[in-house]
Amino acid sequence: MYIGRFAPSPTGPLHFGSLVAAVASYLEARIHQGRWLVRMEDVDKPREMPGAAANILNTLSEFGFEWDGEVVYQSQRESDYQRAFEILKSNALVYACSCSRKEIADSANHGIEGLVYPGTCRNKHHQTAERLAWRVKVNADLIEFDDAIQGHQLQQLSQDIGDFVLKRSDGFFAYQLAVVVDDALQKVTHIVRGADLLASTPRQIYLQRLLGYTQPQYAHLPLVTNQNGEKLSKQTLAAPIEIHDAKAQLWFALDFLNQQPPLSLKTSSLSTLWQWALENWRLGNINPHNAMATAYK
Ligand code: GLU
């Protein structure tokens, strides 16, 4: 059984980039007669915008998305993350880290995504872990996977990333752990999401292996950028998608995903548009490269 999901972070309303991820993950699940789950990734409470989760769900439903089962909230699943964390801890795979950002910046090399943590605290055996972050030990194994859109991927965590944080010094679990635990517990088989998470995938595969979880299949969508080539996000002040404009926005999302929707669909009903999309959706049509959306030209 195909189980897909859409996992927005309620840091703001949905923008066109998140709509593209919702559309692609939804259509892939539906054409495989699969389930499509919605998970609210509100594990990072300090970054949450009040009201955003309800706003996102309302937008999704007004756009005609139909999700299966109850929406899951990461903020209510701490005990699941704690259980996974304890397994890693009992296998001596995690350690407490007292390094400040400045200490790391002074001693680390640059990797694929920022600084590669040099392992300073690995052998310090901090006694009290109050207010300390917890990192997982990585190794030099090559982690490889085939992405359905971006092709073959390869990373060596020790060189490219370094030991990474699973639990933050403020006590919150990190996205990397939460997402792996949730995808496993929800039995997600296929992950379709933005290419901004492509570089995170080897960390997630590594955690799946440590925890004995099944590895899902991955498809990373091209990113929607603005005129400056920046990913649409709250930081780059992406405009929220508007419910009254649902048909046009969906049409643009299909167009961005290179599905070649006929122009006549722009003015048809929402249900005709969805019907066309379900009949014509091809993951293989997607161009892997990041691009500016027509709507933003
Ligand atoms: N919550 C993440 C985001 O909104 C997506 C996580 C995922 O799809 O794995 O960027």
User: DSSP letters along 222-253, please?
Assistant: PPEE-TTSPBPSTTTTPPBP-GGGHHHHHHHH
11 CA: nearest ligand 1 atom: 4
pLDDT (0 to 100) of residue 295: 60
CATH fold for domain 79-176: Rossmann fold (3.40.50)
pLDDT (0 to 100) of residue 297: 43
Residue 126 CA to ligand 1 centre (angstroms): 32
Q: Which tokens belong to 193?
A: 């999401």
Percent of the chain with pLDDT over 70: 98
* Residue bearing tokens 């194994």: 141
Domains in the chain: boundaries: 3-77+188-195+217-295, 79-176
Which residues pair with residue 217 across a beta bridge? Answer: 190
For domain 3-77+188-195+217-295, give the CATH superfamily.
HUPs (3.40.50.620)
Which residues pair with residue 39 across a beta bridge? Answer: 72
Identity of the amino acid at 197: L
Residue 41 CA to ligand 1 centre (angstroms): 7
pLDDT (0 to 100) of residue 161: 96
Same fold yes or no, 3-77+188-195+217-295 and 79-176? yes
pLDDT (0 to 100) of residue 113: 87
Identity of the amino acid at 261: P
Residue 253 sits at the vertex; the CA angle it makes with 231 and 60, to the nearest 5 degrees, is: 95
Whether residue 277 contacts residue 268, with contact meaning beta carbons closer than 8 Å, is answered with no
Residue 193 CA to ligand 1 centre (angstroms): 7
Q: Which tokens belong to 89?
A: 């801890």
Profile the chain (297 residues) by mean pLDDT over runs of 10 residues. Answer: 97 94 98 98 93 97 97 97 98 94 86 90 81 96 98 97 96 97 98 97 98 98 86 75 90 95 92 97 94 66
Ligand 1 environment, Cβ below 6 A: 7-9, 41, 179, 193, 197
5 CA: nearest ligand 1 atom: 8
- In degrees to the nearest 10, what's the CA dihedral of 202, 177, 215, 140? 40
193 CA: nearest ligand 1 atom: 8
Which among 243, 155, 228, 189 has a CA at the least distance from the CA of 29?
189
Residue 222 CA to ligand 1 centre (angstroms): 14
pLDDT (0 to 100) of residue 291: 81
